[in-house]
Amino acid sequence: MIFDIDDFKKLNDTYGHEGGDLSLKVLSRLILKRIRSVDLAARWGGDEIILGLVGANASDAFKIANDIREKTAKLKIKYLNKILSFTVSGGVADSHRAKSFNDLFRLVDKALYKAKKQGKNKIVGLSVGA
């Protein structure tokens, strides 16, 4: 799966890069609390975080992604005497039939793009062949 902070540029413009960095740290901590120690999480570019859930099926991965999305939307972070909040969008795919990491990444990226296009603060799941 992949997550992207919605309107990250606006967040940086409003709160400065320190506010953007804080958002990434808070999101990362939330994700790490939600996944297992065998799972993988990494920052992928500016505000994207990719996750590999070892042995999880597509349904379980979607539920986990949506739980992370919901918890993120409820966050209220005190920063510079203001309340900082943000949402994330995400793409989920099952690696079961993907031929390579690149195929799988293209699929989750396509799902993320659909989530953004549908209005953000959403998780979209796709399967191989979609």
What residues act catalytically?
47
DSSP class of 95: G
Are 85 and 19 a contacting pair, CB within 8 Å? no
Closest CA to 115 of 80, 79, 69, 74: 69
Q: CA-CA distance, 87 to 57, in Å (whole number)?
A: 25
Q: CA-CA distance, 41 to 53, in Å (whole number)?
A: 9
DSSP class of 128: T
